[in-house]
Amino acid sequence: MSADFDLISENHIYLREPKKSTYFAVKHMNAKKILIIGLVWPEPASSAAGTRMIQLVDLFLRKGYEVTFASAASKSDFSYDFSSSRVIEQEIKLNDESFNSFLKNLMPEIVLFDRFMVEEQYGWRVQQECPAALRILDTEDLHCLRSARQQSDKKQTEIDLFSDTAKREIASILRCDLSLIISEVEMKILTEAFKIDSSLLYYLPFLENEITEETIKKWIPIEERADFVFIGNFLHEPNWNTVQVLKTKIWPALRKKLPGVNMNIYGAYPSQKVLQLENKNERFFIRGRAADAQQTISKHRILLAPIQFGAGVKGKFIDAMQAGTPSVTTSIGAEAMKGALDWNGFIEDDLEVFIEKAVVLYEDKTSWLSAQHNGVRIINERYAAMKFADDFISLVKKINLSVHRQHNFIGQILNHHTVQSTKYMSLWIEEKNRK
């Protein structure tokens, strides 16, 4: 294939095929390599986790890193298309020494694990083949916290954080050099309840574009919006539970107060039990996957999300604020999102009051516009990418691994071969698969 030098950047030389506009990297000049190992191939149109991962990928690309994204999962029709970016894709296998060979050839300076389950599977192999690589864990949210809250809600008991899931997740955090935490509440839980040294944790929320005056001018006005909306990936248990609450506890009373208004439920991967909740006579509609979450939310007047359990930061509210759509949610739903600012709507745990607030926000334009303005402040003051990106990359570049790891002696213990049960389980499976 013939090609011409057409674009040179600080760290890369790109070639362009004749008569085409697609560039492809042929040489990486002094660019550091980062390997991101995904639990799944990202689906930003399906979940906040997918959006978060693409934000991290884009951040490292912008900072001149050579990014390789690898996953053992199968791609879906909704997996993010990296073909138009400089990301190198790599399919990998579970419990297979081919991953070790892949690591030896790549030799990344940084390895980022997408959730603790991925670190359990591949972390020991990374330690073995690339001991000098900085190991970063992106927690997405604290799975042990979400699980504990779910069990508490189900059994109506006190929250017990110290579960087997917590032991696995905290061990993963301790084995890594740095863990990215998306919620300030979870930072506090990790340092106070689990006694994790703060040097191992880094608060990195969603990295959003600021909302400008030009953006605001393009928003659909309240008069041209209608109905309530909820959106959430149905593979995520808190979303399924929230829809059940809407169907059985919120909507029966709310639709009587606002006759003629619809409740629209959007979300990827709705199961049959979700689809069966639709009732046209009650104006309760299951709409399925939204091609564009923000565009879909922008057509509706209010996002309703009576979330009963969960963790992390909820992407649905980020999308709502970016679309200029106020919301009514619970304290769990809004947890860690607004800081000292006012919410873009109402936060209410009493479901009867929740319904009343939804009516007020739907009918009162002054309250609605005030809530919309609050959302702009939350995005611009707490999630603007420019407030976090440079500081994070600077930290990554200046970490002295030998000193950093010496400080984390518990992590050294957990990385010692005598306590790596996941390593030996993987090797046993690998050997079994050969037979």
Q: Render pLDDT for 365-420 as a digit per residue (tens, 0 to 9).
A: 999 999 999 999 999 999 999 999 999 999 999 999 999 999 999 999 998 876 67
Give the residue from 368, 383, 398 where a domain finishes.
383
pLDDT at 294: 97
Rounded Cα distance, 136 and 435, in Å: 35
Q: Please state at what angle helix 351-363 crosses helix 365-382, rounded to 10 degrees.
A: 100
When pLDDT is cut at 50, 70 and 90, the band that residue 427 belongs to is confident
- pLDDT reading at 358 higher than 50: yes
Instruction: Assess whether 411 and 304 both reside in one domain.
Output: no
Q: Render pLDDT for 16-34 as a digit per residue (tens, 0 to 9).
A: 343 333 434 444 557 899 9
**Residue 120 one-letter amino acid:** E
Domain that includes residue 147, residue range: 31-208+387-434
Assess if residue 60 is contained within a domain. Answer: yes
Given a contact cutoff of 8 angstroms between Cβ atoms, the answer to whether 111 and 60 are in contact is no
Coil/strand/helix, residue 71: strand
- pLDDT reading at 13 higher than 60: no
Assess if residue 21 is contained within a domain. Answer: no
Given a contact cutoff of 8 angstroms between Cβ atoms, the answer to whether 354 and 327 are in contact is no
Q: Render pLDDT for 89-125 as a digit per residue (tens, 0 to 9).
A: 999 999 999 999 999 999 999 999 999 999 999 999 9
Instruction: Assess whether 100 and 85 both reside in one domain.
Output: yes
When pLDDT is cut at 50, 70 and 90, the band that residue 421 belongs to is confident
Given a contact cutoff of 8 angstroms between Cβ atoms, the answer to whether 327 and 361 are in contact is no
Q: Render pLDDT for 65-92 as a digit per residue (tens, 0 to 9).
A: 999 999 999 999 999 999 889 999 999 9
Rounded Cα distance, 182 and 184, in Å: 7
CATH number assigned to the domain comprising residue 290? 3.40.50.2000
Instruction: Assess whether 265 and 331 both reside in one domain.
Output: yes
pLDDT at 249: 98
